[in-house]
Structure 1
Amino acid sequence: MFNRNRISVAVATTLALSCNSAALISIPAMAQETAKEEAAVEKIAITGSRIRNPDLISNSPMLTIDSAELNSRSDITLDTYLNTLPQVNPAGTTTSNNPGNGGQSNINLRGLGSNRNLVLVDGRRVMVSASDMTVDLNTIPAALIESIEVITGGAGAAYGADAVSGAVNLKLKDDFEGFDFRLNHSNHIEERDAEEYSFTGVLGANFEDDKGNAVIAFDYSKREGLIKSQRAFSANATSTTSFFPEGRYFSAGNHPTQAAVDAVFAGYGVAAGAVPANGSIMGFNDDGTMFSAGVFNSPLDVQNWRYPVDLSVNGPLFPDVYSYNFDAVNILVLPLERKTFSTKFDYAISDSAEIFASASWTNYQSETALAPTPFPTVQIQGLDGTVPTRATSALVENGSTVANQLIIPVTNPFIPDDFRTILNSRSGDNPSLVGSGADEPFLMRQRSLWGGLRGSQRDNTVVQYMMGLRGELSDSWSYEVYAMQGKTNIKQTQTGNLDTQRIQNLLEAADGGNSICEGGYNPFGRLSVSDQCVSYITVDATLAREFNQRIIQGYVTGDLVELPAGYMSVVVGVESRKFDYELDPGSLSGPISGFNTQNPAAGENEFNDVFLEAFIPLVDDASFAESVDLNLGYRTSKSKFTDIAKEIEGDEDRNNAFKAELSWNIGDGLPRVRASYQRAVRAPNFTELFDGGGSAPQYFDPCSQGTTFRDQNGAAGAALCSATGVGSPDTYVQTPGTQASINTSGNVDLRPETADTFTLGLVQTFDNGLALSLDYYSIDVKDAIINPNVNLIIADCYNYYGNNSNLSADYASCQYIVRGGGDIFFLADPNTSDGNIPGINSGFIKTSGLDFQAGMRFDTDVLGGAYIKMDLYVNYLLEYETQELDFLPSIDYADTVAYFGAGLGQSFPEWKANLNTLVTFGDFDIALKGRFIDGMQNRLAVEMPGETRPSGTGTTMYWDTSVTYNMSENHSLRLGVNNLFDKEPELYAPNVQSGTDPSLYDVIGRRITLSANLKF
């Protein structure tokens, strides 16, 4: 006969470690009061399975955080705490400015991307907030959260075929009665900035003889923004820019004479030869004179600079070389204001049926800001051009384009006399421009200080509501059915955009544009621009996005048949999901410099799933095992997408996910063995199918003097550099932190990804309050959809992988590289009309590692009888290997830190660990939390093998502490300090932003926190 008591004991002990870190508190009590716990255990549900059965305990690595732990740091957003967990790679956060995440908060399990894991509430999908189908954690009613379960072994068969890396299940308060009010506040101790505070309240009551329960909750949170100049480590940019506010002259194809340049600069007291005529490094002072920006790491320093050397100048590089310091005005931590209202309701309409419902409304506002717009960031094309995102000019030969440069005629009335002397010495010809010699137009680029910051204000409103019915069909069978509807509206207001065509109109006008707007436009220096001209040039825009989601699901579960070892339980269910979105770009179209222009978009997709799950007890009370249990799952999903805007209807597709989980409880004090194998299938999302995207990552230039490539390849290497656009390879030195743009486009021919996950672990508990677990995991994603990596294409061109041994400029990867003045401007696909690189199922991602957890609970005689609770969570990363394209090598990114443009969540320390200690005595709780992040090498070290220039990071240890005074059972006050020793973030270059990775490291510094909790 099935031994219910024995299984109850197993649940009460083993589940304490494998499923719930908070439950470890009760381990000693469980060992001492077994009989009491046996009677109390009811059927439970474990994230990763829908079978409700005390026989089933977690067979995949899982971690649970209760509400007390979640609130222990006084964080106002969920991602701030979740990103500290070893299983999570910090990715898109509410603090991300550049790369930005629109103020949204995502979670990224195992570094596979936030679009490869699911976010659930009470085991159900919730409303998404982006076309990549990710859930914004800001939209979850935080005040109602009771605990968060993180399962990282895959959960595709149970919750959706796209749960590649796992699921995060936020469990809300159930049958809550009373009133719970919480206040959180934090502030930097020394600077008194980066202030955060939140107010949450939950009110609940039972009614009609406890047949029903209703809960309402509210949450108000606010965060003060932080500018990069408010922290010394981020005040100066670690990358450079070729867009000067003073204007920069490019002499490509038609250089002035060295004699003319020497003569002009001699008038400033500059030695002959100190400013090369063909170097494209000359800019303009406001008094009509010229300066030289210098050349990094060479004898050619900055010459005749006549502006203040303030934060607008990249101080660490000056006067070796001049670059505009765009970071000083950028945002380090985004401002945020959030309001949420939510409610839950359930009512037993009979002894065997209950209706349940929930609704929530969230509105939050966030803001990102970048330095004033560099322009132009679009191509200038001859008047026969028809591409709306390019500016046109009569100064460009028909059929030709000029990349990212202004075209200025020599008739422009604002040309300074000294510069005209230099221009008049030209005798060459740029074939892309009309004319030749001294009469040919010239090229410039600039940055619009007069246009203000590139600001983006987002107003997000998310509404979702759900209603369902659940109940008992018999003593052993139950059912649940529910429907959910959600809507996300995002209004984005952009400022600081420039109409490139209008700038070109002003520059080409005979009077410099004075007849178009007051004063016209003078690009030669940091000169003022009239309000009328600013109004003429700048383009403010409002974009609107709307997402709708509908989910209907129903399933039955129960004991199907009694086997020799116990009851076989099953789940059979169906699910329908429909999602649609619409993007209205408003006025943001045409040749805009600033934010990327977008076209109207609209699409929908639909999934119809059938899922099955079976729990099969194989062995009960045998000589070799107390129990052996098997859990099987299967999901088949039929999907179809439609691009409404482009009138493209995709083919109907069917994908299958499955799982097999095994639990072997050996007994006799030996560990329980758990293992699982799961298959997940992720269909491409709307971003990948239709939208694409862009980035401007920092890159490493093999053509720079002193690189291994140049040293080992001599004249042949110099010849390849010259053939790929380096004008003077013998003297070319890359300025630190230069960036190369890359744009991707959607591809409706993308296929689904498939992922195989395997886990194997041991779980052991002891009567003395110690609990241990060790799990191995391996996730292998095939046919992965990966954004192209700029540095891999560059490395392949210059033969770092052995594919271009002849050092030929005709090699395919070299055709992508577009240079100007030596530097790489952007990478473009020569096989597409717009140069965008279409997404493809290009390779694989494979990651594996070890998770270790340890928990200890014990009473001591210290401090008159203290209770001590200790938890240790450790992750060791064995590999994170990817292959983007079949002709590129696979690269293991374990032990590497991300650089700018590599993608959020792409830092992979080998070791991550959390240690939480709580000492309780009398009315006081003293907590100490430690977080360890291993040191890493820069990922360029594995992408450009043999190069030694990139720097990495050292090991980091953060400590948080707090003291809680429990004034009564229902009233408490907590005072804490986060980042107790004011540990600064690890700095490295190239980097993500601000000289560091702000998702991984603490960029604010030591903060004092205050929390108050009142319950009635």
Structure 2
Amino acid sequence: MQKRLLARSVSLALTLGATSGMLSTQAVAQEGNTAEQAVEKISVTGSRIRNPDMIANSPMLTVDSDEIGSRADITLDTFLNTLPQVNPAGGTTSNNPGNNGQSNIDLRGLGSNRNLVLVDGRRVMVSASDMTVDLNTIPAAMIDSIEIITGGAGAAYGADAVSGAVNLKLKDDFEGFQFDINHSNHMEEKDAEEYGFSTLLGANFEDGRGNAIIAFDYSKREGMIKSQRPFSANATSTTTFFPEGIYNIGGNGPSQAAVDQVFGQYGIAAGAVPAGQSIIGFNTDGSLFSAGVFNQPYNVENWRYPVDLGVNSTLFPDRYSYNFDAVNILVLPLERKTFSTKFDYQVSDSTEIFATAGWTNYSSEAALAPTPFPTVFIQGVNGTDPNAAISKYVEPDGAIGFQLVVPTTNPFIPDDFRTILNSRTGDNPNLVGSGADEAFQMRQRSLWGGLRTSEYDNTVIQYTLGARGNFNDFWSWEVYGMQGKTTVKESQTGNLDTQKVQNLIEAADGGASICEGGYNPFGRNEVSQACKDYMTIGATVATEYDQQILQGFVSGDLFETHAGMASLVVGYEVRKFEYDFDPGSLSGPVSGFNTQDAAGGKNQFNDIFLEAFFPLVDGMPFAESVDLTLGYRTSKSKFTDTVKKIEGDSDTNSAYKAELSWNMGDNLPRVRASYQRAVRAPNFGELFDGSASNPQFFDPCSVTSEFRKANGDAGTALCKATGVADPATFVQTPGGQVSIDITGNVDLSPEKADTFTLGAVHTFENGLSMSLDYYKIDIDDAIIDANVNLIIADCYNFYGNNSSLSADYNSCQFIQRFGGDDILGMANPEPGSGGALPGVNSGFIKTSGFDFQAGYNFEASWLGGASVNMNLYVNHVMEYKTKELPFLPAIDYADTIAYFGVNLGQSFPAWKANFNTMVSFDDFDFALRGRYIDGMDNRLNVEMPLEIEPTGTDAVMYWDTSLTYHMTENHSLRLGINNLFDQEPETYAPNVQSGTDPSLYDVVGRRITVSASLRF
């Protein structure tokens, strides 16, 4: 009976912990003293049970504070991202794509907005409009253990728990003073330094009726730039935004004779620089250089600058590309301070009050290479786009994409270049005039303006106040309220006002009358401080989030059945959220960081939830117990866009679950199964926020592509029909990017997710515990940002949907080319859309796989009686299939690694595993930790099959080790080495992220760690 009661109690605690906070021990008091002692081991979600993972009714992983601290990590994300169930998302290496300095957790790769982060089973303050929690704001000093629940948890935890929840359990009833300090550094390079310390003070009072804990954390991480590691020193993709400036032909090209004449003066053979394909740049001495032609036998010619870190040496001299990665950040710097407190007091035998409070402030920084410009459109005088610059040299109703418009009257035009311009006889229809006198297009990078930096200052304040107690021996209650505020301030440098740049270029004197010396864009030229001040913009943007939660519930016994006592929890919860975003000066024709519009909104959720436990069978052969747990939550929500003054209609949705536990008896496994329906309401980012992005893309219309080779005249015709002016000579410019605008959509409906799990757990007589679980998660009406490469691939028949190669096919309607064959935009063809792509409920995500866990504790006589603790965590992904839009195919990304233009957390190795061993002697603990990541195919192989030959990754194994010396019972010193064998990250191409996935792999290298813990 005690074993049955324990299983029953833990089952309820695990499934109801997030909504009920704590399972009352009095609810089962009538079972007797022995039963009470068993139940009293349970706290919040059962982590005081030796193997709660083996008793839970869905897949769950629990790690304690010793394992969390074994690597001396100063932030939680760097530890959590090593677990097999987690797909590393935004974290310490999220510079580009960035994550605003924040760290998130992403269960199963379904997105960090589809799982919850809880503290002691309760929601905590969010830090983004997608309702995600920044792990940098969690007080690490207070954490006792972490529970990863991955079987779906929508009914128990509410909206957003589609893939599960991460519950961080704080220390309870702590007495004394504890001081911890840790430090880590790269062993050879002496960089990537991290250090931190924490203090913890706790005391009981009133004869143990109350307990109070106060904690303080400080941590600091040294940033790294990519040139500090060989694998990331060179960009793996290319760019045509050069510091030297480049000339874009744009429909009115020069003659081959003029190009041969000019380059012949430099000793270059006629025809070595093809007039129709070459990228022509500017040396500071007035001469010209050719950057070579991608995938063609035309090399760099007449280069007169040093070949330094600013040159992508892996390509040069076959072609020139600016090496933007050398100055980009590899690991983000961080400085963090947290203060937290926890209070419990037993007011009477039946009533307890509790409270928590926390304050966190941290700063971080992201940095990108100097600004490429322009990254906005240049429009004519009749243009209406507020984020575009105006030029009188653009046709009044025309527009030029991502190119400066330079008149031939500019006084800085070099003589050699003027010879080439004078040979023009054509007409660019977007520009005023024709022939030699027509303006021309060029682009550049502001090397003189320094890095684009974003400095983040984040402050989070949150507090909780509540009470719990018992009505009688059978029923208990709890109520609590939570209030929180997050303030995020971002200070940007390096942005350019494109209109002012255009003003200088169009001025008759080159801008000398506007600022000292004017602006000479032809080469790496000096720019006066006055002109820098004129063109650059320092921006400060601010965001505030407010959150309030009120929850109450009652729990207790319902009735006695032939198999035991049925129990029930019923509760009510209100959640309110409000945010406000002020873009400051980050609006208008800004090149650099993406411009944003003011945004703000409110939402509210009113939930009623209940969960019930029913014992079905007890004491039968091969069925010592069979238990059923049912759960249901109904949620009524509404939202308001406070900027656009739009109020959404109220929406009511339901989540539910059923969990079955079948305990066959002693020496036989326990079978567990669960079905969960979760409903995720669209968040503020999806409802209201607009964003602009410029992901890299692959263009099948390039004359060198397999598509062109395989489809002959029909392929040429489709490229012509989709905007390529001269398909016969068109070669995609390396580093090409797609301009895409995504808007919020107030008509979005909630996502619906179904999670099924089936598994078995067993503990053998020798102490070995094992579990194996199958999981399957299906998300319908999924809200997914469009992947532009899928739309491009679909248009050009990579999936067999456009076999006639018709330009009228749906996907082809999204493709737009502006001011040059290879400058491609992605725009909504629907009338009245303004070209922006709204989020839609048109997709699905399906994933399935297996989780395996094993734990074994024993005493090793052959080690002098040392205690050995071993555990193994394994995840196998069978499927990760997505369908983004109705006309696109479903693609399975299992066993693939992310490439350029893909969101964070989208690498899916088929196998991931962690292996931990702890050997404890009298005064010493020796730990060894292994982490396995399977090899993967490049995901471009499944998105554009047979087009190019991307490289994937091999399997990799990381090993960490540490030795802890317990000087006394309360004083210890730990020396460790992370990445013991200095395993470098796997590299692959194409890829824009340092040649690797820096969230998944270790990008720092072998580090030595030192930690000390003192307790009094």
**Shorter-chain-normalised TM-score: which range?**
over 0.9
What per-residue deviation string (whole Å, max 9, x for no partner) do you get for residues 80-100 of structure 1? Answer: 010111100001113210011
Match of 1:427 in 2: 425
Task: Report if the CA contact (8 A) 2:10-2:55 is conserved.
Answer: no
CA distance, structure 1, for counterparts of residue 967 and residue 11 of structure 2: 32
CA contact (8 A) 2:597 2:690 kept: no
Amino acid at match of 2:178: D
Cross-structure match for 2:875: 875
Offset of residue 743 of structure 1: 2.4
The structural deviation recorded for 1:888 is 1.3
Q: Write the distance in 2 (CA, Å) between the matches of 1:55 and 1:632.
A: 20
Deviations 1:540-590 (A, max 9, x none): 010010000000000010111111111111001000000000011111111
Deviation string 1:638-695 (CA, Å, 9 cap, x unpaired) is 0001001001000000010000000000114110000000000001111111113333
Distance 1:483 1:976 in 2: 42
What is the alpha-carbon distance in structure 2 between the residues aligned to residue 335 and residue 775 of structure 1? 39
Match of 1:222 in 2: 220
Structure 1 residue 614 displacement after superposition: 0.3
Q: Deviations over 1:725-773 (max 9, x none)?
A: 4455445444655433322111111111000000001000012110010
Q: 1:38 to 1:354 in 2, by over 3 A?
A: closer
Q: Is structure 2 residue 989 aligned with structure 1 residue 1000?
A: no
Query: Given residue 904 of structure 1, which amino acid in structure 2 is its aligned partner?
Result: L
**Is residue 161–residue 656 contact of structure 1 (8 Å, CA) maintained in 2?**
no
* 1:922, distance to aligned residue in structure 2 (A): 1.8
Closer/same/farther in 2, CA of residues 788 and 466 from structure 1, 3 Å limit: same
Map of 1:156 onto structure 2 = 154
Q: How many residues align structurally?
A: 993
Give the Cα separation in 1 of the matches to 2:390 and 2:842. 36
CA contact (8 A) 1:605 1:639 kept: yes
The question of whether the paired residues in 2 share the 8 Å contact of 1:683 and 1:753 is answered with yes
Task: Please say if residues 880 and 894 of structure 1, whose CA atoms lie closer than 8 Å, have aligned partners that are also in contact.
Answer: yes
Structure 1: gaps (5+ residues):
20-34
2:511 counterpart residue number: 513
CA contact (8 A) 1:9 1:38 kept: no
C-alpha deviation, 1:364, in angstroms: 0.3
Residues 377 and 693 of structure 1: is their aligned pair in 2 closer, same or farther, counting only changes over 3 Å?
A: same
Corresponding residue for 1:929? 929
Distance 1:708 1:722, change over 3 A: same
1:303 corresponds in structure 2 to 301
Asked if residue 943 in structure 1 is aligned to residue 939 in structure 2, the reply is: no
Alpha-carbon offset, residue 704 of structure 1: 3.5
In 1, are the aligned partners of 2:54 and 2:770 still within 8 Å (CA)?
no
How far apart, in 1, do the equivalents of 2:173 and 2:188 lie? Answer: 43
The residue identity in structure 2 corresponding to 1:967 is: M
* 2:1003 partner amino acid: V
Q: TM-score, normalised by structure 1?
A: 0.95
**Which stretch shows the higher mean deviation, 166-175 or 36-45?**
36-45
Deviation at 1:863, TM superposition (A): 3.1
Structure 2: which 5+ runs fail to align? 18-32
Give the AA of the match of 1:1007: R
- CA shift at 1:161, angstroms? 3.0
1:934 Cα shift? 0.5
Kindly provide the CA deviation profile for residues 97-128 of structure 1, in whole angstroms up to 9, marking residues without a partner as x: 00111111100000000000011010100100
Give the C-alpha shift of residue 710 in structure 1. 2.4
2:964 maps to: 964
After superposition, the Cα gap between the structure-2 partners of 1:55 and 1:193, relative to the gap in structure 1 and judged at 3 Å, is closer
Structure 1 residue 902: deviation in Å?
Answer: 1.2
1:399-429 CA-to-partner distances (Å, cap 9, x unmatched) read: 1001111011111111111111111111111
Aligned to 1:1015: 1015
Q: Secondary structure at the match of 1:691?
A: coil
Task: Confirm or deny: 8 A CA contact 1:462 1:489 kept in the other structure.
Answer: yes
Task: Tell me, in whole angstroms, the C-alpha distance in 2 between the residues paired with 1:285 and 1:816.
Answer: 38
2:955 aligned partner? 955
| Mapped contact 1:8–1:55 kept (Cα < 8 A) | no
2:234 corresponds in structure 1 to: 236
The corresponding residue for 2:903 is 903
Maintained 8 Å contact 1:916/1:928: yes
| 8 A Cα contact 1:737 1:989, kept in partner | no
Give the whole-Å Cα distance in 1 for the aligned partners of 2:699 and 2:318: 19
Tell me the distance in 2 between the aligned counterparts of 1:791 and 1:989. Answer: 16
Equivalent in the alignment of 1:339: 337
Distance 1:767 1:216 in 2: 42
> In structure 2, how many angstroms separate the alpha carbons of the residues matched to 1:789 and 1:69?
38
Alignment map for 1:204-353 (pairs within 5 Å):
204-353=202-351
For 1:953 and 1:352, the matched residues in 2 are separated by: 59
Secondary structure in 2 matching 1:749: coil
Retained in 1: the 8 A contact 2:688–2:746?
yes
Partner Cα distance (1:96, 1:431) in 2: 41
Match of 2:671 in 1: 673
Structure 2 vs 1, CA of residues 973 and 43 (structure 1 numbering), >3 Å: closer, same or farther? closer
- The question of 1:984 aligning with 2:987 is answered no
SS at structure 2 position matched to 1:536: helix
Q: Distance in 2 between matches of 1:993 and 1:845?
A: 25
Structure 1 CA distance for aligned equivalents of residues 775 and 81 of structure 2: 20
Higher mean alpha-carbon deviation, 738-747 vs 657-666, is at 738-747
CA distance in 1, matches of 2:629, 2:737: 50
- SS at the partner of 1:667? coil
SS at match of 1:841: coil
Q: Which of the residues 379, 396, 399 maps onto 2:397?
A: 399
Contact 1:954 1:986 in 2 (8 A): yes
Residues 201, 218 of structure 1: 8 Å contact kept:
yes
Q: Which residue type is aligned with residue 129 of structure 2?
A: S
1:12 and 1:453 mapped to 2: Cα distance? 54
Distance 2:414 2:267 in 1: 18
> Residue 419 of structure 2 aligns to which amino acid in structure 1?
T
Classify the secondary structure of the residue corresponding to 1:421: helix
- The structural deviation recorded for 1:351 is 0.8
Matched, 1:72 2:60: no
**Is the CA contact (8 Å cut-off) linking 1:48 and 1:158 kept in structure 2?**
no
Check the 8 A contact 1:416/1:524 in 2, yes or no.
yes
Of 639, 650, 662, the residue aligned with 1:641 is: 639
Give the deviation of 1:811 after TM superposition.
2.5
State yes or no: 1:826 paired with 2:847: no
When structure 1 is superposed on structure 2, of 653-662 and 939-948 the one drifting more is 939-948
Paired residue type of 2:827: A
1:752 is aligned to 2:729: no
Distance in 2, matches of 1:9 and 1:303, equals 75
1:163-210: CA deviation from partner (whole Å, max 9, x where unpaired) = 100000000011111111111110000000000001011100011111
> Which position in structure 2 is the counterpart of 1:973?
973
Task: Spell out, residue by residue over 1:205-254, the C-alpha distance to the aligned partner (whole angstroms, 9 max, x if none).
Answer: 01111111110000000000001000000000001111111011011111
Q: Which residue of 2 aligns with 1:793?
A: 791
Q: Where do residues 28-67 of structure 1 align in structure 2 (5 Å cutoff)?
A: 39-42=37-40, 44=42, 47=45, 57-67=55-65
TM-fit CA distance, 1:62: 0.4
Q: Do 2:278 and 2:293's aligned partners in 1 also have CA atoms closer than 8 Å?
A: no
Q: Does 1:355 align with 2:353?
A: yes
Distance 2:862 2:821 in 1: 69
- Partner SS state of residue 719, structure 1: helix
How far is 1:12 from its partner?
9.3
Aligned twin of 1:858: 858
Match of 1:97 in 2: 95
Q: Is the Cα contact below 8 Å between 2:743 and 2:838 reproduced in 1? A: yes
Contact 2:5–2:35 under 8 Å retained in 1: no
| Counterpart selection for 2:370 from 368, 372, 375 | 372
Q: Name the SS for the 2:669 alignment partner.
A: strand
Q: Structure 2-normalised TM-score?
A: 0.95
| Residue 807 of structure 1: how far off its partner (Å) | 1.3
Q: d(CA) in 2 for partners of 1:48 and 1:735?
A: 58
Asked whether 1:82 is paired with 2:80, we answer yes
2:29 maps to which residue?
none
In structure 1, the partner of 2:887 is 887
Shift of 1:714: 1.8
Q: Percent identity?
A: 73
Is the CA contact 2:54–2:762 (under 8 Å) kept in the aligned structure 1? no
1:554 alignment partner in structure 2:
552
> For 1:48 and 1:951, how far apart are their aligned partners in 2?
45
Residues 662 and 672, structure 2, Cα contact 8 Å, conserved in 1: yes
Deviation at 1:825, TM superposition (A): 3.4
